[in-house]
Amino acid sequence: MNYDGIEEKISNRSKPHRVLGIDPGYDRVGVAVIEKRKNESGRMKEYLIFSQCITTDRKNDLTTRIFTVGQELEKIIELFAPTHMAIENVYFQKNQKTIIGVSEAKGVCKYIGMRNELSIHEFTPLQIKVAITGQGNAEKSQVAWMIPRLITLDMDDMAQRSGGTSSGLDDELDAIAVALTALAHGV
């Protein structure tokens, strides 16, 4: 009998199925780790393990801010050991300076994901809206409204951690939506 590769299959079986969702940026980066496992009744269910909005210091230059994003992302990957990364595709924005910075931050996120041997999956805003609400033309508020109906969240805790600002909370919810989209796509 040939046992080549069997150890890898066994070790992979014991790893939890975790997706790191990322809403990319250089000012704020939404991150969420969602695990899919059986619940008490034996059905597969998604559980939010961690979510946060990484905020960089606006006084720093772009390179330093992107470096900060990379450092924080590496800590999160080390701590929560996701197996996949799901990241939102950057879409057209009017401000070219912003789109370039966000694209650079997204590239760093993908590099760190690959360096940590995560499979990388990208999703467009349309794919995310369809996965979360069933409608590609859904408003951002409709996506935010659906998320707590799809996965258990402590909204008060999230709001408190975001400093009471809707921006940080929005980025965190977007990251959760990206991770849920990946799971809906069979990741």
3-state SS of the chain? Answer: CCCCCHHHHHHHHHCCEEEEEEECCCCEEEEEEEEEEECCCCCEEEEEEEEEEEECCCCCCHHHHHHHHHHHHHHHHHHHCCCEEEEECCCCCCCHHHHHHHHHHHHHHHHHHHHCCCEEEEECHHHHHHHHHCCCCCCHHHHHHHHHHHCCCCHHHHHHHCCCCHHHHHHHHHHHHHHHHHHHCCC
Give the residue carrying structure tokens 């990957």.
Answer: 77
Instruction: Supply the residues annotated as catalytic.
Output: 23, 88, 171
**What is the largest distance, in Å, between two alpha-carbon atoms of the chain?**
62
